[in-house]
Amino acid sequence: MQEMNTMEKNTKLVVLIPALNEEKTIASVIKAIPRKIKGITKVLVLVVDDGSTDRTVQKAGLAKADKIVSHDSNKGLGIAFRTGIEAALKMNANIIVNIDADGQFNPKDIEKIIAPILLGNADVVTCSRFLDKTLEPEMPGIKKFGNKCFTKIINFFTGSKFTDTQCGFRAYSREAALRMNLFAKFTYTQEVLIDLLEKEMRIEEVACKVAGERSGKSRIVTHWYSYGIKALIIFIRTLRDYKPLQFFGIIGLLLFVTGIVGVIYYWLFSPTPTLGWIVYGIGILLLLGFLLMMLALIADMLDRQRRLLEELLYRKKARK
C-alpha cells in the first residue's frame, strides 16, 4: 500500500518503442500515445532505433519522441528491448510500456494495459490477442498454431494459464524491470515471462484488439520456420537456465527408464541373450540417463548461486 501511495502522487510512465526501418508508421504511433493518463504524472516516449537504414530516427524526432537511443547496427529485437529497459530505468520510469513501432497495436490501450499495475494487482501486464474471442485477430494459420504451441509449453513448465505468450505489447512495473536479466538477441517475449515468473512477479493478461495489419513485411519474421526455430532455441536455453532440475532430470529419467525397460525386455523375451549392439545400446541409455540425472542435481545447485548473484545485481541496480 505504501508503494501505491507513492505511485499515485508521482508516477512516471515511459513508453518504449523498439524500431527497425519503420519510417512509415513510427510518427503516427508516437503521436497517438496519450500524454495524459489518469494516475500518471508524466508520460515520456522512448524510441530505440535498432540500426535503421531509413528515416526512422528523423521521423521519430519530428514526432517529438522525448528520447531516442540508436544502435550503430542491427543487433536484434532482444538487445533493443534490453537497451530500452535500461534507458527507461535511467529516466526514472515507474512503469514501462513496450509497444511495437509498426502500428499494429492501439496506443490508446496503454491506459488499459497499465491499470492492473496502478491498482497494485500486477507487476507485469501483457496484451493477449486470444483472451477474448471477439477481439481475436486474423492471422496465418501456421502463425496461430505456433503461438498456441509455445503458449502451451510455457504453461506446462511454469504452471501458468496464459493465452498469448508471443505478444510484445506489455507493461512492466519498475520492480519487474529491475528484476529482469535477459540474454536472447533475436526476441525476448518468452524469456521475459519465464524469467519474471521465476522471480515471483505477478503477471496478468489483458485482452486488446490489434489496431491494424503490419505495413509491409515483418522485420522479425522473414520465414515462419526460421522464427520458430530461433524462438525454440531461446526457449530451450531459458528452460535450461531457469528450470535445470526439470530440464536435465526429465531427459535423464526418460533415458534411464527406457534403458531399464530394455534390460527387462531383452532378458525376459530374448531366446538366447548374448552381447550385441542391443546390449551396448541399452548400456548407453542407462549411462546417459544416470549422468544426466547427476547433472540435473549439480545444475540445480548452481541455480542457487545464480539466484544469489541476480539478487545482488538487483540490489545494485535498485540503488542507482
pLDDT of residue 276: 66
Q: 252-267 b/e with 16+ CB inside 10 Å = b?
A: beebbebbeebeeeee
DSSP state of 203: E
What is the residue type of 269?
A: F
The domains of the chain are located at 2-242, 244-319
How would you class 206 by CB atoms within 10 Å of its CB: exposed for 0-12, middle for 13-18, buried for 19 or more?
A: buried
What nine digits make up the cell of 126?
501483457
> From residue 127, how far is each of 33, 34, 89, 113, 132 by CA, in Å?
16, 17, 22, 7, 11
- HSE-CB at 19 with a 13 A cutoff on CA atoms is 34
Query: Cα(14)–Cα(272) distance, rounded to whole angstroms?
Result: 73
Q: Structure pTM? A: 0.80
What nine digits make up the cell of 63?
514526432
With a cut of 50, list the residues of the chain below it in pLDDT. 1-6, 213, 215-218, 220-221
3-state SS class at 2: helix
Instruction: Give residue-wise pLDDT tens across range 139-170.
Output: 777 778 888 888 998 898 888 999 999 899 99
Query: Cα(280)–Cα(50) distance, rounded to whole angstroms?
Result: 52
How would you class 195 by CB atoms within 10 Å of its CB: exposed for 0-12, middle for 13-18, buried for 19 or more?
A: buried
CB 200 within 8 A of CB 157: no
Class of domain 2-242: alpha beta
Q: Return the residue matching grid coordinates 501456421.
A: 142
Q: Return the residue matching grid coordinates 530451450.
A: 236
Q: 92-122 b/e with 16+ CB inside 10 Å = b?
A: ebbbbbbbbbbbbbbbebbbebbbbbbeeeb
